[in-house]
Chains A and B, each alone.
Chain A
């Protein structure tokens, strides 16, 4: 399936929903730990986990769970202390839990900044949709096919007239204009063929970059999901995942892209295959597995940003390799522009015909009239 911008952005939003949740959740868990609130008061009798000295706090949204924490700070009169006390409390002061709401608010603030920053990082990869390249390629192939079937250089047997006409202008016209026209048409078709391969090449790396990007986001979704599950199980260990990400340049993908050579058949016969390559996923030949490990929202966000930066470098390297092929095309076109041996004509632009009624262009019958 072609890269789906809507689905991608939906996944990015979902990822950052989860990261925000994890960020807030971990801040609350850290706060509980820092304040020693996980050290519960256990009265000798009438133990009720929920109170009056302890409370149940609901944590998590995706994988919700309850955690029992100490709700009050207790001063005891003589004997007894945490974790047990045998003397009824003399004073209690409810613990201030305002920091919990602050932790979630901080997580929201963090999320906005982090997601915005990541968007700035990946947006350049999404500027050009795949179908724009495809449309240009279709137009080139359509144009080539039209030229192939409609262009004629024999012009009703004009080539057979070369021996009938004499004079400097006639010789020049048939030798330097009519004759080389075959080469000019072939040269232009070759150039079109090559341009099509260049367009397909840019599309391949553009597509592979976009699919790699989505694969990274999907991988991070799996990781954050695992982290949230771990929290439910009171586990703060790291989670890891793997995604296939673009690595190769043109030399690494071999025959996937066909570039024509002068004098050979049209490479654009393989256009459909070239346009399909990397169109729906990153081909294994272009990619390598990338592992991400994280134990917190910030770690995962940092890792994702770092991998996207690497991905952008890889996409640029792919574009560089296509640019190298464009330079090769320059060389081929320069050869087409080079005059043919002993002639002012070349295979790129026909000479301006210099013929007019006159003594430089006459019929052979003048010789025997």
Chain B
């Protein structure tokens, strides 16, 4: 048991700390909701974003070599667009982690101010259907910086067949087909046929 809200064995504690931010069991329940988002799901999203940003960092670094050999401004333009996205994903990752930490701090601080809320919050954390989720919270994994090495080649499809399998599993081809069907339907409606 610990009062460190970032620890897997965290238990909310009423300490009589000053502040009136809410009260009662409903307050406790919503603190649990904030804490779950801040401790688990937002950092999980941040982790996925960080992984995506890492892969994009590899893509940018690899394509810089291609653009250099291509000898045409189109390659450099694509690199610039990739770097723009890479910067955006890096910032997004950072801000997701900031948001998660802030919600965890709020949940813990507010639990300290209301005994009923702390009790409800702790009860929900301890439920058998909830407790296992908090045993291994996502670890903060910052994405690579723009000047960091690009790292090893990721595990990629080996040919177009494996690529098609990946696209099919993600349901992306179906999305495109539905979109084209919708477009065809719109077009025939315009024709009046």
Interface residues of A (CB under 8 A from B): 124, 127-128, 132-133, 135-136, 138-153, 155-158, 160-161, 164-165, 173, 177, 184, 188, 191-192, 194-195, 198-199, 202, 206, 258, 264-272, 275-276, 316, 319-320, 322-323, 326-327, 329-330, 333, 348-353, 355-357, 359, 361-366, 369
Contact = CB atoms under 8 A, between A and B. Distances in A.
Chain A interface mostly helix, strand, loop or mixed? helix
B184 interface: no
B95 A150 contact: no
B27 A152 contact: no
A161 B74 CA distance: 46
A224 to B, nearest CB: 30
B43 to A, nearest CB: 10
Given A124-B71, A143-B56, A138 B157 contact: yes
A275 B109 contact: no
Interface string B45-72: 1001101100110110011011001111
Interface of B: 19-24, 26-27, 30-31, 33-34, 36-37, 40-42, 44-45, 48-49, 51-52, 55-56, 58-59, 62-63, 65-66, 69-75, 77-78, 81-82, 84-85, 88-89, 91-92, 95-96, 98-99, 102-103, 105-106, 109-110, 153-154, 156-157, 160, 163-164, 166-167, 169-179
B55 A353 contact: no
Contacts of B166: 141-142, 145
A268 B74 contact: no
A60 B15 CA distance: 103
B33 A158 contact: yes
23 contacts: A133-B66, A136-B62, A139-B156, A140-B59, A144-B172, A145-B166, A146-B52, A151-B49, A152-B41, A161-B30, A188-B89, A192-B85, A194-B81, A266-B176, A269-B175, A316-B72, A330-B81, A350-B91, A353-B102, A357-B19, A363-B22, A363-B27, A365-B27
B95 A351 contact: yes
Give the residue among B69, B96, B160 with the most A Cβ atoms within 10 A: B160
